[in-house]
Amino acid sequence: MGLLDGGIASIFGAALGGLYLPATLHVPGTRTDDEEGNISYGPETDIACRAQMDAATYAMRQSEGFSEGDVRIIILTAGLGVEVTTDAQISVSGKRWLVASAEQDAAVSHWVLRGREA
């Protein structure tokens, strides 16, 4: 495994995994649209991960839709196996957070989320 095909995520996961808190990423099931325009989702999938909580960044505070109380949540990608979207939620330290924004770093080692308490 090379550094550019997931090696960096593995290195970061091994090196930093013990410093990050245990967390659960809640990914909604498959989306279904019915003939009347109603949207429903299949069963939620829970994925164990490692996360770190921090204050919202300056860029997050300047972004559209920012609300006081929003936080930055960093999730290690090692072992995650899914793309994090704003449809997901995450539980860290007994609190559940909506994912208001999600972006992956250039090295694909972690996701940076803007979380809002659910």
Per-residue pLDDT tens for 60-97?
Answer: 999 888 999 999 999 999 888 899 999 999 999 999 99
Q: Where are the domains of the chain?
A: 3-117
Q: For residues 32 and 14, what is the distance between their CA atoms, to the nearest angstrom?
A: 38
- Band of pLDDT at residue 4, cut at 50, 70 and 90: very low
Task: Compare 22 and 41 and report the one with higher pLDDT.
Answer: 22
- Band of pLDDT at residue 10, cut at 50, 70 and 90: low
At the topology level of CATH, where does 3-117 sit? Thrombin, subunit H (2.40.10)
> How wide is the angle at C-alpha 1 spanned by C-alphas 90 and 47, nearest 5°?
15
pTM: 0.77
